């Protein structure tokens, strides 16, 4: 007589799941792209809590924060409020996220930014898209439009950042930059430029032209949006 065993549930120990459904085994056999967000996150969490597997805990986290980007930007205080999540697990998640950001930044240093404009967008959204405060970045480029350095030059409140064109000019010259991209985030979630953003772009472009450093783009990033002055055709506008 054949006795059928009940199918493993999400709360059964992962070791009891079929090999093809265990996150690590699935990754080895099918590649990381085959895993869900919860399964990938479970690999970093390593273990769950009593009565709940790492996958179930990961699904709870994604539900609690609403999205993967929101989870990745969670503070230690926010994350450790959840049962089973301590500073160690928060550190593991942050370390993985930082590796992703550094990998994207290194890619910009190896190839011309024009060879992969989507790479620039992904980097900026990972870097500043989910920050609760506004920051202003400068991407200094060499003569082949590869990244020399990404510098956070100014930091402000949730509503505005004080940006000083003179400082940007000085930092660009110090790095012998051949071109520049600037970017800032809108914590409000709306990436569309304000009148102040447009005026700043014109001022920066004209100031940099005096030392033959073209301003290639001004990007505005939010958690779910992205605006490029260049893509919108606004970099050709001059206030002269």
Q: Is the Cβ–Cβ distance between 20 and 26 less than 8 Å? A: yes
Whole-number pLDDT of residue 130: 83
| CATH number for domain 116-236, candidates 1.10.10.60, 3.40.140.10, 3.40.1350.10, 3.40.50.720 | 3.40.140.10
Q: Is the pLDDT of residue 87 over 70?
A: yes
**By CB neighbour count within 10 A (0-12 exposed, 13-18 middle, 19+ buried), where does 90 fall?**
middle
For the cut 60, the answer to whether the pLDDT of residue 5 exceeds it is no
Distance from C-alpha of 60 to C-alpha of 52, rounded to nearest angstrom = 10
Q: How far apart are CA 228 and CA 197, in angstroms?
A: 12
Write the pLDDT tens digit of every residue in 173-206.
Answer: 999 999 999 999 998 889 999 999 999 999 999 9
Q: How large is the average pLDDT for residues 41-52? A: 81
Q: ∠ CA 50-75-132 to the nearest 5 degrees?
A: 145
Distance from C-alpha of 94 to C-alpha of 88, rounded to nearest angstrom: 10
To the question of pTM greater than 0.75 for the whole model, the response is no
Domain 14-98 has CATH 1.20.1280: no
Give start-end residues of each CATH 1.10.150 domain in the chain: 14-98
Q: How far apart are the first and last CA of the chain?
A: 89
* pLDDT, tens digit, 9 for 90 and up, residues 123-132: 998 889 888 8
Q: How does pLDDT run across 55-75, given as a tens digit for each residue?
A: 888 888 888 888 887 888 788
Residue 172 makes CB contacts below 8 A (sequence gap 6+) with: 138, 140, 180, 208, 211, 213
Cα-based distances in Å from 208 to 5, 61, 145:
71, 46, 16
Q: What is residue 31's DSSP assignment? A: -
The residue assigned the tokens 């472009």 is 205
Domain with CATH 3.40.140.10 in the chain: 116-236
């Amino acid at each position: 007589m054949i006795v059928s065993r009940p199918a493993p549930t999400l709360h059964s120990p992962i070791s009891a799941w079929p090999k093809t459904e265990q996150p690590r085994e699935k990754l080895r056999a099918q590649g990381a792209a085959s895993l869900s967000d919860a399964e990938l996150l479970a690999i970093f969490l390593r273990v769950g809590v009593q009565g709940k597997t790492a996958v179930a805990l990961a699904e709870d986290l994604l539900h609690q924060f609403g999205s993967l980007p929101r989870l990745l930007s969670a503070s230690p205080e926010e994350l450790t409020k959840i049962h089973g999540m301590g500073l160690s697990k928060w550190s593991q998640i942050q370390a993985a996220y930082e590796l992703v950001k550094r990998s994207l930044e290194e890619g910009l240093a190896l190839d011309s930014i024009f060879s992969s404009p989507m790479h620039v967008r992904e980097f900026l959204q990972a870097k500043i898209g989910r920050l609760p405060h506004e920051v202003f970045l400068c991407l200094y480029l060499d003569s082949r439009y590869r990244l020399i350095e990404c510098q956070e030059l100014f930091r402000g409140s949730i509503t505005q950042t004080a940006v000083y064109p003179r400082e940007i000019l000085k930092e660009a010259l110090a790095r012998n930059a051949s071109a520049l991209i600037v970017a800032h985030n809108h914590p409000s979630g709306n990436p569309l430029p304000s009148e102040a953003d447009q005026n700043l772009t014109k001022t920066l472009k004209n100031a940099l032209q005096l030392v033959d450093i073209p301003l290639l783009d001004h990007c505005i990033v939010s958690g779910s949006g992205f605006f490029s002055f260049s893509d919108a055709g606004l970099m050709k506008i001059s206030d002269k």
